[in-house]
C-alpha cells in the first residue's frame, strides 16, 4: 500500500512554504547558503521536529522562527523554495499550491519576497515536473495594514502571473488576531477574482466560525471544530475541508487520529482533501498522510484515488490543467490494474 501511495501522482492543496522544509533540506539549505554544518545546528534540527507529549497548537507557532531565520535572505528564500518544490516532486506530487506570508526585513521587502518565490516557481517547476501555484498568506497575528499590503501585491502580481497567483491564504495562530478586522481586505481580494483558502475552525471559537461561514470561502483549512450544521453547510456549498491529519494530532487540536473528522467526512461523502500543512514541522509527506488514512480509517486504494481526483476538482487550477492532472492520475491507476 505505501509503495502504491508513494507512486500515486498526488495533489497538495494546503502547504505552507516555510513549514514544508524537511529536516534534511533544512540541513542542506544551512550548509549550501550559510556554510553551517555544525553538530549544534543538527541538534537544533532534531529539536525542530520533536513534539513533547501534550504539545499545543501555540507550541507549533514557536517552531516557525527557526526556518524563518534561514529564509530571511533572498538566497536562503530562493534555495528553500526550490527545495520545497523538489521534495514535493520527489513524493510524486504533481500539483502543489504553496502558501507563504510575505515578510519584510532588512534584506527584503514584501514585494521582493514574493518576486523571489515567484521567480523560483517560474524557473524550476518544469525541471521538477510539477505544477506550482502560489497563494500569498495573510498572517492574522499581524496588523491589518500588513494584510492590506499583501493583498495589494497579490492583486498586482496576479495580473502579471495569473496562472501562478490564484488566491489568498488566511492563516496564522488562530488564538491571535480577530477575523472580523480582516473582512474588508479579504473582500477586496475576492472582488479581484482571487480565491480564498481560509483556516477556519482550527480551534473552538463558535462566534468566529459563524462569522467565517457567513463571509464564505473557496476552501476551508482544518475545519476541526465545525458543528454538525457547519459541516452540513460546507457540504451544501461544496466547500472542501483541507484535512491535515498529522498536523492536527501533533498540535493537539484533535485528541487522537481515531477522533479525526476525516472519518465523518468520508462517511457523509462531504467534500474533503488530504493535505500535509507543514510537512517539515510535522515530519510527514503526502504519501504518509494517505498511508495514515488507510491505516486509521481503512481507506482502500480506490478511495485514495478518488480522494486524489477530488483534490483535482478543488484545486485553483484551470479546466485544462485539471484535465491534464486527471489524465496523469488515470494513467497511473490504469497501469495498476
Residues 139-198 within binding reach of ligand 6MZ (CB under 6 A): 139, 171-172
Of the candidate spans 12-20, 36-44, 211-219, 298-306, the one that interacts with ligand 6MZ by CB under 6 A turns out to be 12-20
Q: How far is the CB of 140 from ligand 6MZ (least distance, A)?
A: 8
Helices (H), the chain: 2-7, 23-34, 39-48, 57-70, 74-90, 110-124, 144-160, 183-191, 206-215, 228-236, 245-250, 262-267, 286-297, 301-314, 319-336
Q: Which of 202, 208, 242, 289 is catalytic?
A: 202
CB 133 within 8 A of CB 168: no
DSSP conformation letters of 221-235: EE-TT--HHHHHHHH
Which of 11, 15, 60, 154 touches ligand 6MZ by CB under 6 A?
Answer: 60
Which of 8, 11, 13, 16 touches ligand 6MZ by CB under 6 A?
Answer: 16
| Dist. CA 8–CA 300, nearest whole Å | 13
Which of 19, 177, 230, 280 touches ligand 6MZ by CB under 6 A?
Answer: 19
Stretch 99-138: interaction string toward ligand 6MZ, x if CB under 6 A: -xx-----------------------------------x-
CB 128 within 8 A of CB 167: no
Using rule CB under 6 A, residue 289 touches ligand 6MZ: no
Q: How many chain residues touch ligand 6MZ (CB under 6 A)? A: 18
Taking the least distance from each CB to ligand 6MZ, the nearer of 15 and 304 is 15
Which of 91, 97, 278, 288 touches ligand 6MZ by CB under 6 A?
Answer: 278
Residue 310 annotated as catalytic? no
Taking the least distance from each CB to ligand 6MZ, the nearer of 101 and 308 is 101
For residue 108, the SS3 value is: coil
Q: Which triple of cell numbers denotes residue 200?
A: 477556519
Taking the least distance from each CB to ligand 6MZ, the nearer of 28 and 321 is 28
Helices (H), 125-254: 144-160, 183-191, 206-215, 228-236, 245-250
Q: Which triple of cell numbers denotes residue 91?
A: 513524493
Q: What amino acid positions are annotated as catalytic residues?
A: 202
Amino acid at each position: 500500500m505505501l509503495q502504491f501511495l508513494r507512486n500515486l501522482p498526488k495533489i497538495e492543496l494546503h502547504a505552507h512554504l516555510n513549514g514544508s522544509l524537511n529536516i534534511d533540506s533544512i540541513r542542506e539549505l544551512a550548509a549550501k547558503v550559510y556554510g553551517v554544518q555544525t553538530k549544534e545546528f543538527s541538534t537544533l534540527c532534531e529539536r525542530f521536529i520533536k513534539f513533547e507529549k501534550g504539545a499545543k497548537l501555540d507550541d507549533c507557532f514557536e517552531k516557525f522562527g527557526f526556518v524563518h531565520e534561514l529564509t530571511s535572505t533572498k538566497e536562503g528564500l530562493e534555495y528553500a523554495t526550490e527545495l520545497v518544490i523538489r521534495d514535493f516532486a520527489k513524493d510524486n506530487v504533481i500539483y502543489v499550491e504553496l502558501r507563504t506570508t510575505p515578510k519584510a526585513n532588512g534584506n527584503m521587502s514584501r514585494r521582493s519576497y514574493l518576486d523571489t518565490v515567484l521567480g523560483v516557481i517560474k524557473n524550476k517547476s518544469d525541471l521538477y515536473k510539477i505544477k506550482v501555484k502560489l497563494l500569498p498568506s495573510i498572517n492574522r497575528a499581524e496588523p491589518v495594514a500588513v494584510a492590506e499590503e499583501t493583498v495589494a501585491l497579490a492583486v498586482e502580481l496576479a495580473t502579471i502571473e495569473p496562472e501562478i497567483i490564484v488566491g489568498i491564504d488566511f492563516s496564522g495562530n488562530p488564538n491571535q488576531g480577530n477575523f472580523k478586522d480582516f473582512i474588508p481586505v479579504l473582500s477586496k481580494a475576492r472582488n479581484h477574482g482571487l480565491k480564498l483558502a481560509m483556516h477556519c475552525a482550527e480551534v473552538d471559537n463558535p462566534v468566529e466560525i459563524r462569522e467565517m461561514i457567513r463571509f464564505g470561502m473557496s476552501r476551508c483549512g482544518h475545519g476541526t471544530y465545525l458543528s454538525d450544521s457547519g459541516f452540513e453547510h460546507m457540504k451544501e456549498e461544496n466547500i472542501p475541508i483541507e484535512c491535515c491529519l498529522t498536523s492536527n494530532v501533533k498540535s493537539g487540536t484533535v485528541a487522537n487520529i481515531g477522533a479525526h473528522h476525516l472519518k465523518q467526512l468520508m462517511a457523509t461523502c462531504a467534500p474533503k482533501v488530504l493535505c500535509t500543512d507543514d510537512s517539515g514541522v510535522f515530519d510527514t509527506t503526502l504519501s504518509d498522510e494517505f498511508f495514515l488514512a488507510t491505516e486509521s480509517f481503512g481507506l482502500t486504494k480506490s478511495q485514495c484515488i478518488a480522494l486524489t481526483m477530488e483534490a483535482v476538482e478543488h484545486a485553483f487550477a484551470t479546466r485544462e490543467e485539471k484535465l491534464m492532472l486527471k489524465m496523469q492520475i488515470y494513467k497511473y491507476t490504469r497501469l495498476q490494474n
